[in-house]
Amino acid sequence: MPVRPRRPLAVLTAALALAAGLGTAATSPAAAATGTFQQVSGFGSNPGNLAMYSYVPAGLPAGAPVVVALHGCTQTAADYDNGSGWPKFADLDKFAVVFPQTSSANNSLECFSWFDAGKDTRGRGEAASVVQMVAKAESLYGSDPHRVFVTGLSAGGGLTADLLADYPDVFAGGAVDSGLPAQCATSQSAASGCQGGSQNLTPAQWGDKVRGSDPGYGGPWPRVAVFQGTGDHTVQPVNGTELRDQWTDVWGIGQTPSSTRSLPGSTTLTTYDDSAGNPAVELYSISGMGHGLAVDPGSGPDQCGSTGAYFLASICSSYYTAQFWGLASGGGGTGGGLPAPTGLTVTGTTGSTVSLSWSAVGGAASYDVFRDGSRVGGGTGTGYTDTGLTAGTAYSYTVAAADSAGTDGARSAAVGATTAGGYQPTCYTTDNYDQTVAGRAFQSGGFTYAAGSGRNMGLWNVFTVHTLEETAAGYYVLADSGCPA
């Protein structure tokens, strides 16, 4: 098939046929979902003019994670719900999925604006709208704010990288599928250059684009997975390498792989571990795959999705992403049959440690402990001390019992813990106008939002009064019920 000219994601045409033979394949049916896909209204001032949809599995417990999934150009939220495979794992592992949707009113081909500094930066435009959706999901579903993740395809992948850079305090992890490095382009005219070839930046220069997106933030950083086809002629494969360079630099771990292994679908997985030996960045290079999301239709535990335009038969990227983020309970979400441990309690904290205990589970051979969704350790006893943590930082923990084969059962309810030291909370009570003048909040569309957290505080006037708590430098949360919140 002849290669057609590349065009920016911002101006892709629906008729574009990709060099890897994407075309319009006959759609394969996805596994039947058991939850509810529906539109959600009233999630905030919505400065990016987006629509919010969500998939909520039956029996979703309180304290479950949230995954934000951003569609590609010419797609809708419903397309991504149907084709990506995320509902399957939401059903199996019990988490909510938020599907933001843009429209032709924002972009003629319904692309997210990953290249527009007025829309993809912290507190502005589409980026701010997505974070408002996260806050709405947390409120509606009682979700764990420490286990919020974001993924996206193509232009959605570009915005995913921007969101991870803009809001590292909101997102614990991300996955960029056939996308671009964070803040690669700051105008539409520069977008095609990012798509078409190397920007010739060092890892440190790429990392500076992340650090500059939320100045003063020092971690913890999101864990990032990158999926890139070697036959992609719309977003050149070098973008996967540059994403790897960007996020390994942010983590301070260099570009030397910790491990490399082969996966199904002609995929090579290269892993880069943090200082504690846990995967921080993963690069999935898919040989010959064109521009799209990697799916693998079928009923197997590591299969998902439906093939079609921009959904390409390879591996199930959603399965590997859920594994990387620590969302799966084991064996692709099937679990080992053991019940969730009860009584998970924080028994002590220092500036760098959190100690936990829980009740024993009959038949358990060992236990696995997860921090912010990622496994950090475990053992045969019913207690664990997590070490090497950052002072004054909030973490979320769950624990699962494993059988004699090492397969985890269901995870416990999450508990939160904050290490000692660090930033000392300060509270401010005044009207919304004064809060914005003081820089503790900002206004958009006549409404007031807390700086950092983006929480809606109501109308921007001198009559509405709130208490804001500064929990970290420049980061404010509502504390009307008492300080500390």
Q: Which residues pair with 294 in a beta bridge?
A: 312
pLDDT at 465: 93
> What is the Cα–Cα distance from 362 to 341, expressed in whole angstroms?
10
3-state secondary structure of 247: helix
| Tokens matching residue 401 | 């019992």
Quick: pLDDT tens for 12-52: 322 222 222 333 333 444 556 678 999 999 999 999 999 99
CATH number listed for the domain at residues 345-418: 2.60.40.10
Q: Which residue has the higher pLDDT, 183 or 398?
A: 183
Of the candidates 149, 122, 116, 114, the residue with the CA atom closest to the CA atom of residue 216: 122
> What is the Cα–Cα distance from 362 to 382, expressed in whole angstroms?
12
Quick: pLDDT tens for 452-475: 788 889 999 989 999 998 877 778
Whether 5 shows a pLDDT value over 50: the answer reads no
CA dist 411 → 70, 122, 435 (Å): 27, 33, 41
Segment (H or E) for 348? strand 345-349
Average pLDDT over residues 135-140: 96
Indicate the length of the chain as a whole number: 485
Q: Give φ, ψ of 147 to 5 degrees.
A: -125, 65
Q: Among 63-67, 160-164, 338-342, which is the least confidently predicted range?
A: 338-342
pLDDT at 422: 65
Q: Among 103-112, 113-122, 276-285, 404-413, which is the least confidently predicted range?
A: 404-413
Query: In the 8-state DSSP scheme, what is residue 18?
Result: P
Q: Which residues pair with 175 in a beta bridge?
A: 151, 225
User: Cβ atoms within 10 A of the Cβ of 297, count?
Assistant: 21
pLDDT at 409: 79
pLDDT band of residue 337 (cuts 50, 70, 90) is low
| CATH class as words, domain 9-325 | alpha beta
> What is the Cα–Cα distance from 441 to 166, expressed in whole angstroms?
17
Q: Work out the end-to-end distance of the chain between its first and last CA atoms, rounded to an integer number of angstroms.
A: 60
The CATH 2.60.40.10 portion of the chain extends over 345-418
pLDDT at 32: 62
pLDDT at 412: 81
Tokens 């064109």 label which residue? Answer: 290
Quick: pLDDT tens for 409-445: 777 877 878 888 766 678 999 999 999 989 999 988 8
Whether 239 shows a pLDDT value over 80: the answer reads yes
User: Cβ atoms within 10 A of the Cβ of 346, count?
Assistant: 15
Pairing of strands 66-70, 148-153: parallel
pLDDT at 485: 63
Whether 224 shows a pLDDT value over 60: the answer reads yes
pLDDT band of residue 8 (cuts 50, 70, 90) is very low
What is the widest separation between alpha-carbon atoms in the chain?
65
The CATH 3.40.50.1820 portion of the chain extends over 9-325
Pairing of strands 374-379, 441-444: unpaired
pLDDT at 289: 97
Of the candidates 249, 234, 268, 132, the residue with the CA atom closest to the CA atom of residue 182: 249
pLDDT at 416: 79
**Most confident region among 5-19, 181-195, 401-415 by mean pLDDT:** 181-195
pLDDT at 188: 83
Whether 111 shows a pLDDT value over 90: the answer reads yes
Pairing of strands 223-229, 447-450: unpaired
> What is the Cα–Cα distance from 290 to 178, expressed in whole angstroms?
9
Question: Left (φ > 0), alpha (ψ -120 to 50) or beta: where does 405 sit?
Answer: alpha
| Tokens matching residue 218 | 């020092």
Q: Which residue has the higher pLDDT, 143 or 14?
A: 143
> What is the Cα–Cα distance from 248 to 223, expressed in whole angstroms?
10
User: Cβ atoms within 10 A of the Cβ of 326, count?
Assistant: 26
pLDDT band of residue 329 (cuts 50, 70, 90) is low
Mean pLDDT, the chain, rounded, equals 87
3-state secondary structure of 321: helix
Pairing of strands 173-177, 223-229: parallel
Would you say 148 and 134 are in contact if contact means Cβ atoms under 8 Å apart? yes
Whether 451 shows a pLDDT value over 60: the answer reads yes
3-state secondary structure of 317: helix
pLDDT band of residue 189 (cuts 50, 70, 90) is confident
Average pLDDT over residues 50-60: 96
Average pLDDT over residues 180-193: 92
3-state secondary structure of 126: helix
Whether 308 shows a pLDDT value over 70: the answer reads yes
Would you say 230 and 278 are in contact if contact means Cβ atoms under 8 Å apart? no
The catalytic site residues sit at 154
